[in-house]
Amino acid sequence: MKYLFQSMVKTIPVLLLITLIVFLLIRVTGDPVSLMLPETATEEERDSLRESMGLNEPLPIQYFTYLGELVTGDFGDSFRYNTDALSLVLERLPATFELAIASMIVAIIISVPLGILSAVKRNSFFDLFITGGAVLGKAMPNFWLGIMLILFLSVTFQIFPVSGRGTLGHLVLPAITLGTGIAAEMTRLIRSSMLEILEQDFIRTARSKGLGESIIVNKHAFRNALIPVVTIMALQTATLVGGTLITETVFAWPGLGQLLVQSVNLRDMAVVQAATFIIAIFVILSNLLADLIYRFLDPRIKYE
Amino acid sequence: MKKQLWLLLLVLTLIIAGCSGGETSNTEGEEPVETSDSKTLVIANGTDIVTFDIHDHNTTSTEAVHVNMFNYLVTNQGEDGFQADLAESWENVDDTTWNFKLREGVTFHNGEELTADDVKYTLERVAKDDTLLEHGNYNQIEAVNVISDYEFEIVTKNPEPALLNRLSRLGSGILPQEYIETEGWEVFLENPVGTGPYKFMEWQRDDRLTLEANTEYFGDAPKWEELVFRSIPEDSTRVSELLTGGVDVAVNIPPTDVDRINETEGVTTVQSPTQRVMMLVLRTDEDSVTGDPLVREAIDLAIDKQAIVDSLLEGAGTVTRTRVTPGNVGANEDLYGQTLYDPERAKELLAEAGYPDGFELTLTGPNGRYLKDRETVELIAAMLSEVGITVNQELIEWSAFNQRYQDRDFAEMFYIGYGNSMFDASLALDRLTIENAEGETDYDNQEVNDLLLAAEQNMDPEERAQQYQEAQEIIAEDRPQIYMFQLDAITGINERLDFEPLLNEMFYADSITLK
């Protein structure tokens, strides 16, 4: 409990720093007013809009006003949509979670059997094939894989819908696109983690007791090999919440990633700030979760 | 172990098979695209609509959706003039007063009746509130005076020959005063109400907006039961949706995908002009090398605009020597479809101007704002180098470009494309008056200046158009702006439809019909 509390307190300076960095970055990279008005707008029109958006104040004052409002849970209003930025972000979370969970399931379905197989059949043809495939999977850019999947599975064979959100079918292609890269990383990790465990004494003891190979691999080795895998999974889930930008855009998936891309393009400051804040909280929480799962998997780990 | 693997494979296959059922089962085999007679029209845009506050946005693609929910007082029919919509008739009483009679018996989607008070509320809101994005296009309106429920006057601050142009575009939809004032803007924005042929059903941001037929519509009965506007930002995804029959209409088709779509049975593309004209803007002050009219002419003659249209845009554009293209008040059609290209003469002109060995200049352009903008700038630079002009290319990201554009901080030349939602020459040429040109082109032609200022407030439509046409002749020779081409829009459509895209890029759903 004490550990939990301490971790929570530690997140405050991290969050503060994130708000400052995002606040500054979004302001130095371009003027939202020039992006909101057409080429033909007059100087007066630009000025009055800038004034009404509070952009004429000096930066430190803008930042402290923003922090003051943040404490009360007010992230400000979106320039683009004219509504509360936080509710815009929260509105998108279900779609993003749906995609993140589905991608993680895809990644697990692919990586667990392949990782184990690759370790058990070390240096075999299978092993070579799987590790080679993992390198390929990691190297493929998401947007390319997404477009290729659409071309083959939606346009040519018409098995899955092209884009949008709705049925389970809509979820498949974006989940495969995102899941492939994670699967590649997890496969390699499970393989090396399994290899290490399989060399250890207790495995030899288990074998000498005459236990079946499948029990040794699945029960004894795999559970112990899970610890580093869980870390990566937790971190990847957090990345998935914030990092589905390209995939969501390719598949017109109405999640947080697409909102963030468009808000950055239009310098919709309040939304960018709210979205990055929420993502930061997720990253912190999933790290914490990973710590707690360790403890469950390996009771030897204790927190002071 | 082997057994488990097979089991896993089986499960995977089952999952995939399970997902592929449902709505995708209506598409069989590869091609052709299935054409149905569904009464739902699905249109794929590149971006979602921004808001239902018709006064607080300036995006054409949002307005293209709004026109199905709201009505203007009059509609702009281009060369055929203006047509009655909510207004039954109108009259220009004096230079600054316009009298309108409103159509009777029109109801909003919530059942309220439309009266002159709604018009007053709508137009005075945008004319007076300077925080609204459309304020600049309506602040010429001094007041709207209600005479009776169905009659009102619009009073302008100055003579406003383009008033009807202003009232037939973005921001001109008439809003329900009572509904907004009793329920508040928040409720209106969640549940917008207009007088149009389609009414609001559902909006999922960045996914889809659904409208349904308004059976109480005062005009012809709506032709569709449901309209769905989908937001699909990625070009190739939009094309794929069209190819699989997922959408009926897809906007902004990249020129490179046109052949692929046209070769697929059941879908096709249409190419139509837009209001955007791409141009080079040049400094004309004496300190700049482009200050010499001979140099500007040489630059114009050295660039083969038709070749750029043919090669980079794959034909999706029309060369022009004016920015006021057909369909706009004051267009000079003699200059449209025309272009000059004569590199030999360009070399002679440079020699005459005292640059037989050429010179260096900087050309700034945005990267990623307009169709093939970077490639165009590169090609222009290559063409200019053929006649001896060395071009320093400066390609920058749009928001940075825009910042410098506002600060009027470019060197000799920049590349830009202007739209014109007013459909009138005044907006197209207003950067070329002496006052407005300062610091940008520094164009200083008294004759053009007088013509533009006189036309701005001239209430005689014919004389006004002539003034604009004359100004365009002079500008085409003076070349403070060298016009390149008008961009075409390429729209992909399912062949079950009859659809001709409009110059204003609006999607009037009822002008799209089943074959």
Separation CA B195–CA A97 (nearest Å): 39
| Cα B98 from Cα B308, distance rounded (Å) | 46
Query: Which of B21, B51, B241 minimises the CB distance to A163?
Result: B241
pLDDT the model gives residue B244 = 94
pTM, rounded to two decimals: 0.85
d(Cα B138, Cα B55) in Å, to the nearest integer? 10
Q: Taking CB atoms and an 8 Å limit, are A39 and B234 in contact across chains?
A: no
Using CB atoms, pick whichever of B24, B136, B208 lies closest to residue A161.
B24
Q: How far is B76 from chain A (nearest CA, A)?
A: 21
Q: Among partner residues A46, A109, A167, which is closest to B22 by beta-carbon distance? A: A167
Is the minimum CB–CB distance between A38 and chain B shorter than 8 Å?
yes
pLDDT digits (tens, 9 = 90+) for B157-190: 999 999 999 999 999 999 999 999 999 998 999 9
Give the separation between CA B132 and CA B115, rounded to whole angstroms.
24
Q: Which residue in the set B208, B231, B406 is minimally distant from A34, CB to CB?
A: B406
> Is 0.90 exceeded by the ipTM?
no
B278-324, pLDDT tens digit by residue?
Answer: 999 999 999 999 999 999 999 999 999 999 999 999 999 999 999 99
Tokens for B286? 């004496």
Stretch B45-60: mean pLDDT: 89
Please state, as a whole number, how many other Cβ atoms lie within 10 Å of the Cβ of residue A62: 16
CB B368 within 8 A of CB B331: no
- Predicted local distance difference test score (pLDDT) of residue A166: 86
If you ran DSSP here, which 8-state letter would residue A275 be given? H
Which residues are registered as beta bridge partners of B277?
A: B418, B486
Determine, for residues A40 and B233 on separate chains, whether the beta-carbon distance falls below 8 Å.
no
| Residues A217, A220: Cα–Cα separation, whole Å | 6
Instruction: At B83, list the tokens.
Output: 């047509």
Q: Which two tokens stand for residue B377?
A: 């700038």
Between helix A168-198 and helix A142-149 the angle, nearest 10°, is 130
3-state secondary structure of B482: strand
More confident site: B387 or A202? B387
- The yes-or-no verdict on residue B34 having pLDDT over 70 is no
Question: Nearest CA of chain B to the CA of A284: how many Å?
Answer: 28
**Using 50, 70 and 90 to split pLDDT, how confident is the model at A243?**
low
Residue A275 near residue A262, CB atoms below 8 Å: no
Peptide bond into B32 cis (omega under 30): yes
Q: Tell whether the torsion through CA atoms of A183, A189, A194 and A195 is positive or negative.
A: positive
The minimum CA-CA distance between A95 and chain B, rounded to whole Å, is 11
Cβ contact, residue pair B419, A39, below 8 Å: yes
Chain B contact for A266, CB < 8 A?
A: no
Contacts of A30 in chain B (CB under 8 A): 397, 399-400, 402-403
